[in-house]
Amino acid sequence: MNTHLIIWPVVLALSITQGMAQTVKYQTDKHIVHQQERMVFKQWNRDNFTPKKGFLGLNYQYWLTWAWHPNYPRTDRRSLSFTGPQTLRLRLVAAMKNTEEAYKKHADTLRNTALTEMVNYAGAASAADPLWQLYYRGEFRSLTDGIDPLEGAEPNVRDYLTHTGLLEWYREEKEALAERLDAARTTNMDRGSRIMAYHRVLGEYRQLSAMWEAKKQRIKLYLSLTEADTRITEPGQSITLPPGRTDRQIADDILSKSKL
């Protein structure tokens, strides 16, 4: 029992001492408060410098404090002042941000230019060219789709073109133009050069097509004339001429068709 009576007062005394030790004493010295305000946010007023000169400048505390730092009262120590470190840091951050945006804009410009140049040069993107989609694809359809060159021709004309080798010649010329067209579409080159290649191939293909159609018409005329001549030379065969037409008119008609 006596032991408990001794322990409890000691514990109570220690608790009170610890509570007093944890108590924070706020600093309210006006000199330090003024300096803190000056260093942080407030505009400094020279009248707040303490200690002051006093009557006739006889305050020895002023001279002991400020005699060693005569320019200190006139120096702005605030972090957010016009020349303060925080203001300079914010200006530096703003300048770096502007520089970063300028670099980013420049990089985006280079990227867009590179993409445009890549699209213009890359053969893989030639199918998406607007001029190819709107014009050249339709013009080259008969060259790329493999249409039968003897389509619409009569059987005797087909046989003649096949046996004489004209059909094989036309197919070789057409395949050569198709290979040139494919090379122009797949090769990496400038868009202007690619379009000029299309134009040249299209011109040659039109000439080849016109020549092929002319050959078919002439062969058709030749075969018809050959058949008529054969019928005349065969014994017992005769040709019935249309009424009202002379031999001269028939010959003129044949010559006019041959010029086509």
**Span 26-41, pLDDT tens digits:** 656 776 677 676 666 5
Band the pLDDT of 244: cuts 50, 70, 90.
low
Query: Which range in 3-17, 49-63, 194-208, 225-239 is most confidently predicted, on average pLDDT?
Result: 194-208
Distance of alpha carbon 113 from alpha carbon 100, whole angstroms? 20
Q: What is the pLDDT of residue 199?
A: 92
3-state secondary structure of 245: coil
**Span 251-260, pLDDT tens digits:** 666 666 554 4
Higher pLDDT, 49 or 65: 65
Q: What is the pLDDT of residue 154?
A: 82
Average pLDDT over residues 157-184: 88
Asked if residue 102 has pLDDT above 60, the reply is yes
Terminal-residue alpha carbon distance, the chain: 142
Q: Do 174 and 143 touch, CB atoms closer than 8 A? A: yes
Asked if residue 98 has pLDDT above 90, the reply is yes
Asked if residue 97 has pLDDT above 90, the reply is yes
**Span 69-81, pLDDT tens digits:** 777 666 766 677 7
Higher pLDDT, 128 or 253: 128
Band the pLDDT of 143: cuts 50, 70, 90.
confident
Mean model confidence pLDDT for the chain: 76
Structure tokens, 228: 């008529």
Asked if residue 237 has pLDDT above 70, the reply is no
Q: What is the pLDDT of residue 260?
A: 47
**Span 184-218, pLDDT tens digits:** 888 888 888 888 999 999 999 999 999 988 888 88
**Quick one: CA dihedral 150, 156, 157, 159, positive or negative?**
positive
Q: What is the pLDDT of residue 251?
A: 64
**Span 213-225, pLDDT tens digits:** 888 888 888 888 8
Distance of alpha carbon 26 from alpha carbon 44, whole angstroms? 23
Q: What is the pLDDT of residue 259?
A: 47
52 φ/ψ angles, rounded to the nearest 5 degrees: -95, 175
Place of tokens 């514990």: 11
